């Protein structure tokens, strides 16, 4: 599954903006794939926890997507700001704001997962150092205790 299905399912995931609905869809897709591999029909009533215990695995796809997105954020932040990747991630592209509530953007996912503010993330020296950025963002891509309980 990790060799054949995940690369297709996660193609371009670095550019996705993950809202709660997308996170639920990704988790449902992973659950469905594991149930198909184990040949568990939908008529057999098994909880997701039972299925994961039977497969001897845990939910990993969403964490894989988060880690790839965080790695790309570090890579793009290390780019010079005159580069298109650097200017897009730093938010220096000119645009007109529409009416209503602002839509969730790509950068808000990064801020939510890391716990940094936007100014501190762009100017923190840890982003410039790859090893330090990896050590800071590794726990962000791991499941929290509340994520483990949502597998039903």
Q: Which residues are within 8 A (CB) of 23 and not within 5 positions of it... i.e. 6 or more apart?
A: 62
Domain ranges of the chain: 1-91+103-152
pLDDT digits (tens, 9 = 90+) for 38-71: 999 988 989 999 999 999 988 899 999 998 988 8
* DSSP annotation string for 48-65: HHHHHHHHT----HHHHH
Average pLDDT value for the chain: 80
Cα gap 101→23, rounded to integer Å: 21
Position 7 pLDDT exceeds 60: yes
Residue 149 has pLDDT above 60, yes or no: no
pTM of the full structure: 0.76
| 147 confidence band (pLDDT: 50, 70, 90) | very low
* pLDDT computed for residue 30 by the predictor: 94
pLDDT in tens, 99-143: 888 778 888 888 888 887 766 666 666 677 778 777 777 776 666
Q: Can you give the pLDDT at residue 26?
A: 95
pLDDT of residue 148: 46
pLDDT given for residue 20 in this prediction: 92
User: To 10 degrees, what angle do helices 48-55 and 20-37 make?
Assistant: 50
């Amino acid at each position: 599954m990790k060799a054949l299905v995940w690369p297709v399912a996660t193609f371009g995931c670095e550019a996705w903006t993950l809202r709660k609905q997308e996170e639920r869809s990704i988790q449902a897709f992973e659950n469905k794939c594991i149930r198909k591999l184990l040949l568990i029909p939908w008529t057999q009533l098994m909880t997701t926890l039972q299925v994961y215990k039977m497969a001897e695995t845990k939910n990993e796809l969403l964490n894989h997507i988060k880690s790839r997105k965080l790695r790309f954020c570090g890579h793009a932040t290390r780019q010079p700001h005159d580069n298109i990747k650097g200017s897009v991630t730093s938010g220096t592209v000119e645009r007109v704001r529409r009416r209503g509530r602002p839509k969730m953007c790509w950068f808000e996912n990064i801020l939510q997962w890391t716990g940094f503010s936007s100014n501190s993330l762009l100017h923190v020296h840890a982003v410039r150092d790859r090893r330090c950025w990896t050590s800071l963002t590794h726990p962000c891509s791991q499941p929290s205790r509340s994520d483990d309980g949502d597998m039903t």
